[in-house]
Structure 1
Amino acid sequence: MKYRNILLVDDDTDETEIFVMAVNAINQKIKYSVENNALDALKKLQNSKLSPDIIFLDYHMPYLDGTEFLKLLRDVKELKKIPVVLYSGHSGTMLKDAEDKFKKVQFLKKQGDFKKLIELLRGIIMPEESAKK
């Protein structure tokens, strides 16, 4: 398993619930934290209260959007190596721009199809198992 400890930063409680169910469907040994406020998540990361292997980040949030979060995250030496996946229902040029601007950033569109979400998350979290299928 490539990533064992996930941080999801998303202010939509319905989306976080679906995401957590998908992660649990992949492997119940995966640890996860959910933060619904990007500013609070950043503070906890800076204070070492969170130490994820990967961050799934909603792009549109109050207080601090995805681009602002990424810029601040990348300014901290200890945090800039954490891979980030922009996890958003929106696609388009602004997300592509953020993906291009920041290193180690991928984009995952929020899915209406739960099985598809599991498949896409498995490809990111456990790529070695996805390759076997």
Structure 2
Amino acid sequence: MKYKNILLVNDINDDAETFVLVLNAINHKIISSVEGSPLEALKKLKDSKLSPDIIFLDYNMPHLDGTVFLKLLRDIKGLKRIPVVLYSRNSGHMLREAMTKFKKVQFLKKRANFRKLFKSLQKIILPEKSEKKSIMR
């Protein structure tokens, strides 16, 4: 498994619940944390209360958008190398700009459909399984 400790920063409870359910369906050994506030997430990351292997970040949240969050995250020593996946319903210009501005940033479109989200997350979290499937087809 490429990522075992996963942090989701998302202020919408329904989206967060679905995300965690999908992670558990992918692999029950995944440790997932959800933080509804980007400011609180940054504080916990800075205080080493959270140590994720990867962060899924809702780009559009109150108090702090994804670009500002990424800048503040990259300024915290020891957290520069954590991969971040921008998790949003939109794939607009600002998202593309953030992805080119910051290293190790990907994009994942929010999906209401459990199966589509499962497939998308599986490609990121378990890339070796996705590769095996495509080779076998």
User: For this structure pair, what is the TM-score category when the shorter chain's length is used for normalisation?
Assistant: over 0.9
CA shift, 1:61, in A, is 0.6
Q: Which amino acid aligns with 2:56?
A: F
Listed one character per residue, the Cα deviations across residues 93-114 of structure 1 (whole Å, up to 9, x for unaligned) are 1111111111000000001221
Q: Give distance in 2, aligned partners of 1:102 and 1:15.
A: 25
Question: Are positions 1:17 and 2:17 aligned together?
Answer: yes
Cα distance, 1:91 vs structure 2: 1.2
CA RMSD of aligned residues (A): 0.7
C-alpha distance in 1 between matches for 2:77 and 2:43: 14
**Deviation sequence 1:1-28 (CA, Å, 0-9, x none):** 0000000000000100110111011001
Runs of 4+ in 1 over 2 A off after TM superposition: none
Partner of 2:97: 97
Residue identity matched to 1:66: G
1:116 matched to which residue of 2? 116
Superposition TM-score, scaled by structure 1 size: 0.98
**What TM-score does the superposition give when structure 2 sets the normalisation length?**
0.95
Correspondence for 2:6: 6
Deviations 1:44-90 (A, max 9, x none): 00000000000000001111111110000001120110000000111
Alignment of 1:62-81 (within 5 A): 62-81=62-81
SS at match of 1:112: coil
Bigger shift: residues 26-35 or 60-69:
60-69
- Alpha-carbon distance in structure 2 between the residues aligned to 1:77 and 1:130: 33
AA of the residue aligned to 1:14: D
Report the AA paired with residue 27 of structure 2: N
